[in-house]
Amino acid sequence: MSAQDTSAKMDRAAAERFVAAWCANWCRVDIDAVVAHFADNAQMRSPLALTLTGSPVVTGAENIRAYWRKAYGHIESADLKILNWSWDDTIARLTVWWQLGDTRASEFMDFDAAGRVVRSEAFYGK
């Protein structure tokens, strides 16, 4: 799913396209492409954000972009693997289980009516 496709309502097929694009964008560490899927007032929660910013929550697409540049901007590519994903149409939530190196994570993303991420939260483990 490209940034231009985010005007459509999310459903299972759109979620599948989103997961493929999201993974490809992170593998290229294309932070701008990842952030293009987020609403301007989106909120992202992550234990890594707490470590780097002092707060587990980053609010606003531009602040999320700045945070990800700080956290991942030094990396040119990543071998992110999607382990599984699930779409809940009732609450418009995508959950993705992924692995990068020896880090495993689950991450959920809530979408607005326009198909943009309004809330995201990541949980990390080994």
Closest CA to 48 of 107, 89, 117, 101: 107
pTM, two decimal places: 0.87
HEC letters along 95-106? EEEEEECCEEEE
The domain in which residue 22 lies consists of 3-125
Q: Average pLDDT for consecutive 10-residue bins of the chain (126 residues)?
A: 53 95 96 96 94 94 95 89 96 96 95 95 88
CATH number of the domain that 83 lies in?
A: 3.10.450.50
Residue 82, beta-bridge partner list? 98
Radius of gyration of the chain (CA): 13
Instruction: Please state, in angstroms and as integers, the Cα–Cα distance from residue 120 to each residue in 41, 92, 96, following that order.
Output: 12, 12, 11
Residue 98, beta-bridge partner list? 82, 105
Structure confidence at residue 8 (pLDDT): 64
Q: What is the DSSP letter of 9?
A: P
What are the pLDDT digits (tens) for 49-63? 998 889 999 999 999
Report the amino acid identity of residue 75: I
Residues 6+ positions from 37 with CB-CB distance below 8 Å: 1, 3, 6, 18, 21, 22, 116, 117
CA distance 125 to 119: 21
Number of independent structural domains in the chain:
1
Structure confidence at residue 125 (pLDDT): 85
